[in-house]
Amino acid sequence: MPNPVAVSTKAFTSSMEYLRIPPCLQLPKHSLPALYTRASQPWVPPPVGSVKINTDAAWDSSSLFCGLAAIARDSSGKVIGGSDKSTFASSSLAAEAQAIALGLKLATSLSLSSFQLESDSLVLISALLNPLSTVDWSASHIIAQIRVRSGLFHRVNWLWSSRVANAAADLVAVLAKRRVCPEDCILFIY
């Protein structure tokens, strides 16, 4: 079985070569391995005085129904806000993109100007870090909206996390998909 890290790294490198992205817009060479070394680490809090929003989606391919979640925590790990939603999406990637959009909506409701937004979708985080990249058609319009909305903040630090580190958002997304998570369930769970 091929090594997924090696395959992902090669695919990303090949796409950069294909697109001939100017070096000033490419991700630093040291940032890609850093993404993969975090694969089994638990949630890491943001720096003191900062907020991290974790997002996730749970999608059912047969019904196209999904649950979305966004959880905001401070540097001590305390939940300061959250949001969940049940909706439809044409793909798992589109559902994950909708979850990121929900995270930006949460940031607006919390009046944040700078924050970290973390997702376990490497495809979407890579696309948001590289303004010239594209994603599958099912999520491209959502990514375009996310890029516009993120420009309204002073700074959004896009981060990838493993599924292990994103377990809290995953749980809420699953509950939202099952429609058993009321509007404020995040505050009661965590």
pLDDT at 2 (0 to 100): 65
The answer as to whether 108 is a domain residue is: yes
Nearest Cα to 162, choosing from 122, 103, 190?
122
Confidence of residue 135 (pLDDT cuts 50, 70, 90): confident
pLDDT at 21 (0 to 100): 46
pLDDT at 10 (0 to 100): 62
Q: Which of 20-34, 35-49, 80-94, 106-120 has the lowest mean pLDDT?
A: 20-34
Confidence of residue 134 (pLDDT cuts 50, 70, 90): confident
The answer as to whether 13 is a domain residue is: no
The answer as to whether 75 is a domain residue is: yes
pLDDT at 132 (0 to 100): 85
The answer as to whether 4 is a domain residue is: no
- Which two structure tokens, joined as six digits, stand for 14? 């090949």
The answer as to whether 11 is a domain residue is: no
Confidence of residue 60 (pLDDT cuts 50, 70, 90): very high
CA distances from 3 to 7, 51, 123 (A): 6, 33, 17
| Residue numbers of the domain that contains 134 | 49-189
Q: Are the CB atoms for 89 and 57 separated by under 8 Å?
A: yes
pLDDT at 25 (0 to 100): 47
The answer as to whether 63 is a domain residue is: yes
Q: Is the pLDDT of residue 37 over 60?
A: no
Domain count, the chain: 1
Q: Say which residue, 38 or 169, is predicted with more confidence.
A: 169
How close are the terminal C-alpha atoms of the chain, in Å?
A: 38
The answer as to whether 43 is a domain residue is: no
Confidence of residue 40 (pLDDT cuts 50, 70, 90): low
The answer as to whether 104 is a domain residue is: yes
Q: Give the predicted TM-score (pTM) of the model.
A: 0.77
Q: β-pairing, 155-160 with 65-74?
A: unpaired
Q: What is the pLDDT of residues 142-184, one digit of tens each?
A: 999 999 999 999 999 999 999 899 999 999 999 999 888 665 5
Could you tell me the CATH number of the domain that includes residue 99? 3.30.420.10
Give the mean pLDDT of the chain: 83
CA distance 166 to 182: 20
Average pLDDT score over residue span 25-30: 47
Long-range contact pairs involving 136-140 (C-beta distance under 8 Å, separation at least 24)? 136/91, 136/93, 138/89, 138/90, 138/91, 138/93, 138/94, 139/91, 139/93, 139/94, 139/96, 139/97
